[in-house]
Amino acid sequence: MINELQTEMLRGPRGRIMVMDSAYHIGAANRDRDVVVNASYCGVLPARFIGRHRPRGTIGVDCAVGPMGAAIAGLWYLEALNIPAAVAAVDSVLLGNGVDLYEHGLISFANRSANDCGVVPHMRVHEAACQMLEQDPCSPDAAEVTNRVEVARNEQGRTVICVDSIAFGDPVTDACSVLVTAGHTGRSALPYLLKVRPWGFICSDGGMGRERSGVAGMVEAGRIGIPGAAVDARRARMGDGRSTYEDGIISAANELAIRAGVHVGQSAREAARLLLNFEH
């Protein structure tokens, strides 16, 4: 025991893995060196206390996530501070028991900083804690965090690219790509679409807005020859291009996309395939 509130599980040249029952047991002694495994939820409130002491990394409990993701919202608060953070599935742990969390917990969610360290869903908490102790997160500029990934390619060499914002499209490489992004397609999206002129695109409807303003840019893009569609913001996470592709359900499409076979109620994955193979 280090004290009555923290238990040392592992010590190395880079720091320690310290286990505790509550996030409020983290202290100044953990700053910049320790991975703190705490059996609290990871909402914004505990994340403020964690962030104040800036540990090397932290692992909590997802507490069933809850409305608006409140029980894990602190993951992204901590990501903004570039502190690796993850949570374990609540059904894999004894709540309020830090040692049990360390020994039996299974990771359910992790922020980008934790991903940089090699932490992934379904990893055991003790393994994730070791990854955080031994690895450092990257320190990218905001414009570098695009999460760009190719998810499909056809015989003509055209690709489906997931990227978190249409602002990250590349006019050189994406003219033959279907861009699957995660911002709304209101009028502010149109200049980016005109700059890139992708083969096609799928974005979010942003909740649609008054007078269908969330897809106004999508409609205009169709009039100038760019087929595109939008997914229901209630079904796919905004700001996450992979979620648009994997979870998205089409809520609107412009005339060119409709000609390609895209329709409301279709999966974004199927719509992307149709746009990829649409000759226009």
User: 175 and 199 share a domain?
Assistant: yes
User: 191 and 260 share a domain?
Assistant: yes
User: 170 and 230 share a domain?
Assistant: yes
User: 117 and 178 share a domain?
Assistant: no
User: 112 and 222 share a domain?
Assistant: no
Find how far residue 86's CA is from the centre of its chain: 12
Answer yes or no: is 204 within a domain.
Answer: yes
Residue at a domain's end among 102, 134, 166: 134
User: 120 and 153 share a domain?
Assistant: no
Q: Is the separation of the CB atoms in 274 and 261 below 8 Å? A: yes
Give the neighbor-by-neighbor strand order of the sheet with 149-153: 149-153, 159-162, 177-184, 200-204, 228-231, 250-253
pLDDT digits (tens, 9 = 90+) for 37-94: 999 999 999 999 999 999 999 999 999 999 989 999 999 999 999 999 999 999 999 9
| Domains contained in the chain, number | 2
* 3-state percent breakdown (helix, strand, coil) of the chain, nearest 5: 40, 25, 40
Confirm whether pTM is higher than 0.85.
Answer: no
Residue at a domain's end among 134, 167, 201: 134
Print the domain residue range for 88: 7-134
Tokens of 240: 């996450």
Task: Name the pLDDT band for 259 (thresholds 50, 70, 90).
Answer: very high
Compute the distance between CA of residue 34 and CA of residue 29 in angstroms, rounded to an integer.
8
User: 151 and 111 share a domain?
Assistant: no
Answer yes or no: is 139 within a domain.
Answer: no
Residue at a domain's end among 134, 165, 190: 134
φ, ψ dihedrals at 212, nearest 5°: 55, 35
Answer yes or no: is 140 within a domain.
Answer: no
For residue 145, which of 159, 165, 160 has the smallest C-alpha distance? 165
Q: What is the pLDDT of residue 140?
A: 74
Answer yes or no: is 99 within a domain.
Answer: yes
User: 119 and 208 share a domain?
Assistant: no
Tokens of 125: 């908490």
pLDDT digits (tens, 9 = 90+) for 81-127: 999 999 999 999 999 999 999 999 999 999 999 999 999 999 999 99
User: 117 and 167 share a domain?
Assistant: no
Mapped onto helix, strand or coil, the DSSP state of residue 38 is: strand
User: 76 and 168 share a domain?
Assistant: no
Q: Which pairing describes strands 35-41 and 15-20: parallel, antiparallel, or unpaired?
A: parallel
Please name the residue that has the structure tokens 């393994």. Answer: 127
| Predicted confidence (pLDDT) at residue 1 exceeds the cutoff of 60 | no
User: 130 and 30 share a domain?
Assistant: yes
Answer yes or no: is 249 within a domain.
Answer: yes
User: 73 and 177 share a domain?
Assistant: no
Compute the distance between CA of residue 143 and CA of residue 149 in angstroms, rounded to an integer.
15
Residue 90, number of CB atoms within 10 A of its CB: 17
Measured CA angle at 16 (ends 10, 21), to 5 deg: 85
Q: What is the pLDDT of residue 52?
A: 95
Answer yes or no: is 1 within a domain.
Answer: no
Q: Which pairing describes strands 177-184 and 200-204: parallel, antiparallel, or unpaired?
A: parallel
Q: Using only the alpha carbons of the chain, give its radius of gyration.
A: 22
